[in-house]
Amino acid sequence: MLSATSVKISNRYQIAIPSLVRKQLNIHAGERLLIDIHGNMIILLPQPQNFVQYLSGLHQDVWQGINTTQYLDKEREAWTY
């Protein structure tokens, strides 16, 4: 794990990603990064090539032990007046 490092913002508001970070995350020139803001933090994440595959299985533990068909039916019933 890389310890904290700093980068300088250019007069065109650009930063250079240090080579150790690029190597650790396997980031190459021309690839895109996602930018997320949490409070006063900027988080850069490599943009996945396939979002469906990247998000597949995310939070599956939340749905363990729940019959999703029954859950969705109950939610849909609440929509009717």
Report domain extents, the chain. Answer: 19-79
pLDDT of residue 81: 66
Strand spans (E) along 31-70: 33-38, 41-46
The residue type of 72 is L
Residue with tokens 């988080």: 43
Size of the chain in residues: 81
Question: Given CA atoms 43, 46, 51, 56 in this order, what sign does their dihedral have?
Answer: negative
pLDDT of residue 39: 94
pLDDT in tens, 14-71: 999 999 989 988 899 999 999 999 999 999 988 888 878 777 777 778 888 889 899 9
Q: What backbone phi and psi angles, to 5 degrees, belong to 43?
A: -115, 125
What single-letter DSSP state applies at residue 19? H
The pTM of the whole model exceeds 0.75: no
